[in-house]
Amino acid sequence: MIAGGSYGKIGAAVLAAKSALKTGAGLTFTLAPQCGYEILQTSCPEAMFIEGGMKFIKDFDIEKGMTIGIGPGLGTHEETKKGLSNFLKDNQSPLILDADALNIISEDQKKLQLIPQKSIITPHPKEFERLFGKTQNSFERLELAREKAKELHIYIVLKDHHTQVVTPEGNVYYNLTGNAGLAKGGSGDILTGILTSLLAQGYPEKETCILGVWLHGKAADFAAEKHSKESMLPTDVINELGNVFIELNRRAEGML
């Protein structure tokens, strides 16, 4: 389930849903406002649509047992904030939280405690600052991320030039794929879809993070080879995911 989109930001939900499907998800749903119905059903017909409101999501009525990624294009309407807070209070299963979901949580530090243990959050540096406070440099930010990952028992995917995966044990994994073309808006929405898909397929949380950011970056590297870092679009990254899996399958077959 991808929960996201609001009036003017439906594209974010489209990108997340498409990338989830391209990463191997089986049944995929989008929880989005009614204003995005035609866009989502036309641009991503493989994903089923669930209405959560008119111009923004206010009802997070999600079936138990679903793997959920929340945040792409969500917006920060007051009713969205209320709906998300109520959902977090009732939900105990690990989630993928990104973008406006993190921005809503950052408005009240008490809401950090509502993040289920073993969840994955994917802040860029500014979102991280809103959540946990300012740091002087990237070294201090990483140490704070390790501290918060341990404290909240969550996985933090800190998006940056070399994205860092921080585990609840305080371990840090650096990703070396990817390029500056991922600085374009929408790239983070793709990562949310990838991570949600991998977690739904049964990958453990740590492996979901490590493989997910690698796939995201590798697809971006393929896209840059075809289109250049300047001209590549997030949709180009999604379209290269299949070629990344083809390469991985060839490597696996060569090892047999």
Confidence of residue 256 (pLDDT cuts 50, 70, 90): low
For 57-111, the pLDDT digits (tens) are 999 989 889 999 999 999 999 999 999 999 999 999 999 999 999 999 999 999 9
| pLDDT given at position 121 | 98
Query: By the 8 A CB rule, do 40 and 3 touch?
Result: no
pLDDT for position 128 = 97
Q: What is the pLDDT of residue 161?
A: 87
Residue range 141-153: mean pLDDT, rounded: 98
Residue 202 burial (C-beta neighbours within 10 Å; 0-12, 13-18, 19+): exposed
Instruction: List, for residues 165-205, the tens digit of each pLDDT value.
Output: 999 999 999 999 999 999 999 999 999 999 999 999 999 99
Average pLDDT over residues 194-223: 98
Query: Using one digit for the tens of pLDDT, what is the confidence trace for 3-34?
Result: 999 999 999 999 999 999 999 999 999 999 99
Q: What percent of the chain has pLDDT over 70?
A: 100
Q: Long-range pairs for 130-134 at CB < 8 Å and ≥24 separation?
A: 130/102, 130/103, 130/106, 131/102, 131/105, 131/106
Determine the pLDDT at residue 28. 97
Q: Which fold has domain 2-255?
A: UDP-N-acetylmuramoyl-L-alanine:D-glutamate ligase (3.40.1190)
Q: Contact at 8 Å (CB) between 95 and 114?
A: no
DSSP result, 139-206? HHHHHHHHHHHHHHT-EEEE-STT-EEE-TTS-EEE-----GGGGSTTHHHHHHHHHHHHHHTT--HH
Contact between 212 and 25 under an 8 Å Cβ cutoff? The reply is no
DSSP conformation letters of 218-239: HHHHHHHHHH-TTT--HHHHHH
- For 44, 197, 204, 228, 235, the CA distances from 200, given in Å and listed in that order, are 19, 5, 10, 32, 22
**Helix, strand, coil abundance in the chain, percent, nearest 5:** 55, 10, 35
**pLDDT higher than threshold 90 for residue 164:** yes
Euclidean distance between CA atoms 11 and 30, whole angstroms: 12
What's the pLDDT at 130?
A: 96
CB of 72 closer than 8 Å to CB of 12: yes
Mean pLDDT within 101-122: 97
Left (φ > 0), alpha (ψ -120 to 50) or beta: where does 133 sit? left
Q: What does DSSP assign to residue 115?
A: S
Judged against a pLDDT cut of 90, whether residue 248 lies above it is answered with yes
Task: Give residue 103's pLDDT.
Answer: 97
Q: How far apart are CA 55 and CA 254, in angstroms?
A: 50
* Torsion sign, CA atoms 132, 136, 142, 143: negative
pLDDT at residue 74 in the model = 98
pTM: predicted TM-score of the whole model, two decimal places: 0.97
Determine the pLDDT at residue 254: 86
Residue 210 confidence class, pLDDT cut points 50, 70, 90: very high
- Please state the rounded mean pLDDT for residues 113-120: 97
Domain ranges for the chain:
2-255
**Crossing angle for the helix pair 187-200 and 10-22, to the nearest 10 degrees:** 40
- Residues 179, 220 contacting (CB under 8 angstroms): yes
Question: Band of the pLDDT at 245, cuts 50, 70, 90?
Answer: very high
